[in-house]
């Protein structure tokens, strides 16, 4: 039994290594400042856990050896010992210190990733992109460029990006592991997630919330490129792609699955985003947001009926 207990952590570590595959886990292959902060936080948590496990298994081994069964007489009675106050203080203080340490690390990481301006790009204006989800798609609206894409999003490198998230339907979770953590997108409120890409490349994004039979297909690609190439791409979309009409947007919302598409206008003019969390606290702003959102009764909640 003792051998099984001691070998178990080694077996679990080996299984984790094998099941993770040859490629590095995406959360540890960070390509942006906020992703690096989260990766560091995860590594600190893992290191803390490993230290605790090592201490526990070392103490377990010592106890098993020191207090193993011996050839003492059957009527042997061990000496009575009173409680050890120092030992009781130690084993009470250690969990408190661990929780306090992890709390400080969590607060530090949250403050960094929720900051609208990352430290690396403190003087750069963020690019605002509205990311709205529907079953089982992602719609990306660029109000500054007045273009929109479906199931893919292009961003410039070395510039902070501010994604404003909401949903046409059930709640989803926006996640790009190599660039940022995940955040929920809801139908009645806009949430915000900040990220930036240090390197040009293609990054995997998806809905990480188990919310229905088609969630596994709700994926998108983030392509990070230099600012000049990004400007060239936006101009190309504006000059070659059709405008997004209300009718076309309804078709997209009600389709179960669609491929990548691009448009030379956004849906924000006829189907605006809901209020932010801050504005939700103001009754007048909230009522105006709901009136704008439901002014066209067909665009409040969209679900593909074949999936339910």
Task: Break the chain into its structural domains and give their ranges.
Answer: 2-62+83-113, 125-301
Question: Cα(157)–Cα(129) distance, rounded to whole angstroms?
Answer: 14
Residues 6+ apart with CB under 8 A from 41: 105, 106, 109
pLDDT of 53 reads 95
Tens of pLDDT, residues 244-258 = 999 999 999 998 889
pTM of the predicted model as reported, rounded to 2 decimal places: 0.79
Tens of pLDDT, residues 265-303 = 999 999 999 877 666 666 565 566 556 555 543 444 444
Residue 21, φ and ψ in degrees, nearest 5: 85, -175
**184-213 burial code (b ≥16 CB/10 A, e <16):** bbbbbbbbebbbbbbeeeebebbbbbebbe
Query: How far is CA 27 from its chain centroid?
Result: 10
CATH numeric code, 125-301: 2.60.40.420
Number of CB atoms found within 10 A of residue 105's CB: 15
Tens of pLDDT, residues 78-127 = 777 777 888 889 989 999 999 999 999 999 999 888 887 656 777 788 99
Question: Is residue 256 within 8 Å of 304, Cβ to Cβ?
Answer: yes
């Amino acid at each position: 039994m003792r051998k099984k207990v001691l070998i178990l952590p080694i077996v679990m570590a080996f299984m984790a290594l094998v099941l993770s595959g040859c490629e590095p886990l995406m959360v540890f292959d960070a390509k942006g400042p906020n992703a690096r902060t989260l990766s560091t936080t995860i590594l600190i948590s893992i290191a803390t856990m490993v230290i605790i496990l090592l201490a526990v298994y070392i103490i377990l081994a010592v106890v098993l050896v020191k207090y193993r069964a011996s050839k003492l007489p059957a009527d042997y009675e061990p000496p009575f010992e009173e409680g050890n106050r120092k030992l009781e203080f130690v084993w009470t203080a250690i969990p408190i210190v661990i929780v306090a340490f992890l709390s400080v690390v969590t607060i530090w990481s949250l403050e960094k990733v929720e900051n609208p301006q990352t430290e690396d790009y403190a003087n750069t204006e963020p690019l605002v992109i509205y990311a709205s989800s529907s079953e089982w798609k992602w719609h990306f609206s660029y109000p500054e460029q007045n273009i929109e894409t479906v199931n893919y999003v292009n961003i410039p490198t070395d510039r902070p990006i501010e994604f404003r998230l909401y949903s046409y339907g059930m709640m989803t979770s926006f996640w790009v592991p190599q660039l940022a953590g995940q955040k929920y997108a809801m139908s009645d409120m806009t949430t915000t997630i900040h990220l930036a890409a240090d390197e040009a490349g293609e990054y995997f994004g998806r809905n990480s919330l188990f919310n229905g039979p088609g969630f596994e297909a709700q994926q998108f690609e983030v392509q990070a490129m230099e600012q000049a190439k990004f400007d060239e791409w936006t101009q190309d979309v504006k000059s070659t792609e059709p405008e997004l009409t209300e009718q076309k947007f309804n078709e997209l919302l009600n389709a179960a699955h669609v491929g990548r598409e691009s448009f030379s206008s956004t849906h924000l003019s006829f189907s605006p985003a809901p209020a932010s969390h801050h504005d939700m606290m103001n009754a007048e702003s909230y009522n105006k947001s709901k009136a704008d959102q439901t002014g066209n009764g067909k665009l409040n909640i969209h679900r593909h009926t074949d999936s339910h």
